Amino acid sequence: MPPWIERQRHLMDYTLAAMARRWGRNLGLVAVYTLLVFVLASVMMFTDAIQREAGQLLEQAPEVVVQRMVAGRHDLISADYMDAIAAIRGARQVRGRLWGYHFDPVTAANYTFMVPAANAPPAGRVHIGAGLARARGAAVGDVLSFRGHDGALFSFDIEGLLRAESEIITADAILLSEEDFRAFFGIRPGLFTDISLQVRNPREVTKVAEKIVERFPDTRPILRSEMQRTYASLFDWRQGLVLTVFAGALLAFAILAWDKAAGLSAEERREIGILKAVGWETTDIIAMKTWEGALVSLTAFLLGVLLAYGHVFGTSAVMFEPVLKGWATLYPRFVLTPHVDLFQLAVLAFLTVVPYTAATVVPNWKTAVTDPDAVMR
């Protein structure tokens, strides 16, 4: 082995032997540091994975959804609008959508009632999301009863369950027929929740949306690109919670670094003096301390990232569930497709390994350049 490698390994041996003297403290340090990286990397990976998931799923969302606004509220839209919108050049597949919410006192959860565009169940029957089925303990063949808009009891036979793997989009869904929907919510024929449409030429989407607003000033078109952007900024760094996590973590890290950088104990100074006196150069001491910082922070970084990967993709970010759940009683179970953004990982590595190593090396620097005869005085 070339002497320079052997020399670095000697320095590593020394710093490890020195760290082993206070193994409890150093192990604790690695543990805290790992936890820090774990939390940051978990947030990062989860955010990235869910943003990608949403982006891919919403590629299939309607190109434009048109809402009608009444006194600042989303209101039902008349079928007349549909005909007029269909007449706009470029608009196609204009369809009235029927969907809405119902609060179920049994589970204290909100469900989303929807009428599918095609293959809707026959009257009296429903298809339900897997999350809902879990919350109600319901299975195919069971009967679900809800009170409708007028207090009348509606009973639906469960004809089918939506696949569990689709919970991230359908956990709370109840698919039912149009006539059941209208009867349940008391919505007259000719009224819809909103209108969805596709646009022939994707480059004309904005133009079509503008024409719709021009024609109906009381409407608000929502573009697919806007839907995707909403989810692309989900858990964005600006959001409160993520910011709070980051701020807390960075503060903890700053305290850690400050504590290290605040200076060396008399004992540490004396040891550096001894090393210099027995023939170590300033660069040897700096290299030795660099190894200390690099080994601690690198181990913590690698361990933290690996644990975060297991947490996000193995356990579906079980620790973030309370946050995502919020006040909801119904929460989807879903598996995220493993994906890690290497650039983000590199940024995280840079933000954790480098400052810690610097905080370890810098206070030693000043001590290391003192005269080697200091120990004799």
Contact status: 48 vs other proteins (CB under 8 A):
no
Stretch of residues binding other proteins (CB under 8 A), selected from 66-74, 138-146, 150-158, 211-219 = 66-74
Q: Which of positions 18-37 make contact with other proteins (CB under 8 A)?
A: 18, 20-21
How far the first Cα of the chain sits from its last, in Å, is: 39
Task: State which of residues 187, 250, 252, 340 lies at the interface with other proteins (CB under 8 A).
Answer: 340
Contact status: 259 vs other proteins (CB under 8 A):
no
Q: Which is nearer to other proteins, 101 or 365 (CB)?
A: 101
Q: What is the DSSP letter of 157?
A: E
Half-sphere exposure at residue 85, Cβ-oriented, CA atoms within 13 angstroms: 35
Contact status: 366 vs other proteins (CB under 8 A):
no
Strands (E), 46-140: 64-70, 73-75, 77-78, 91-97, 99-104, 109-114, 125-128
Task: State which of residues 39, 88, 158, 175 lies at the interface with other proteins (CB under 8 A).
Answer: 175
Q: Give every strand in the sheet of 125-128, ordered side by side.
A: 99-104, 109-114, 173-175, 125-128, 153-161, 143-147
Nearest approach in angstroms of CB 139 to other proteins is 20
Stretch of residues binding other proteins (CB under 8 A), selected from 140-148, 153-161, 249-257, 293-301 = 293-301
Task: State which of residues 44, 76, 77, 162 lies at the interface with other proteins (CB under 8 A).
Answer: 162
Q: Which is nearer to other proteins, 98 or 361 (CB)?
A: 98
Task: State which of residues 77, 91, 121, 131 lies at the interface with other proteins (CB under 8 A).
Answer: 131
**Which residue type sits at 247?**
A
Q: Which is nearer to other proteins, 189 or 326 (CB)?
A: 326
Cα(14)–Cα(280) distance, integer angstroms: 12
Tokens of 54: 């949403």
Cβ count within 10 A of residue 110: 13
Task: State which of residues 44, 128, 171, 205 lies at the interface with other proteins (CB under 8 A).
Answer: 171
Task: State which of residues 37, 295, 317, 361 lies at the interface with other proteins (CB under 8 A).
Answer: 295
Q: Which of positions 304-333 make contact with other proteins (CB under 8 A)?
A: 305-306, 309, 313, 322-332
119 three-state secondary structure: coil
Contact status: 112 vs other proteins (CB under 8 A):
yes
Cα(189)–Cα(176) distance, integer angstroms: 16
Task: State which of residues 65, 66, 76, 144 lies at the interface with other proteins (CB under 8 A).
Answer: 65
Contact status: 129 vs other proteins (CB under 8 A):
yes
- CA 85 to chain CA centroid, Å, is 37
Contact status: 200 vs other proteins (CB under 8 A):
no
Cα(111)–Cα(100) distance, integer angstroms: 8
Task: State which of residues 36, 85, 88, 172 lies at the interface with other proteins (CB under 8 A).
Answer: 172
Stretch of residues binding other proteins (CB under 8 A), selected from 57-65, 77-85, 252-260, 356-364 = 57-65
Q: Which of 191, 225, 231, 233 is nearest to 209 (CA)?
A: 225
Q: Cα separations (Å) of 7 from 10, 11, 252?
A: 5, 6, 35
Contact status: 242 vs other proteins (CB under 8 A):
yes
Contact status: 150 vs other proteins (CB under 8 A):
no
Nearest approach in angstroms of CB 138 to other proteins is 17
Task: State which of residues 236, 248, 350, 354 lies at the interface with other proteins (CB under 8 A).
Answer: 236
Query: Positive or negative CA dihedral for 203, 227, 101, 68?
Result: negative
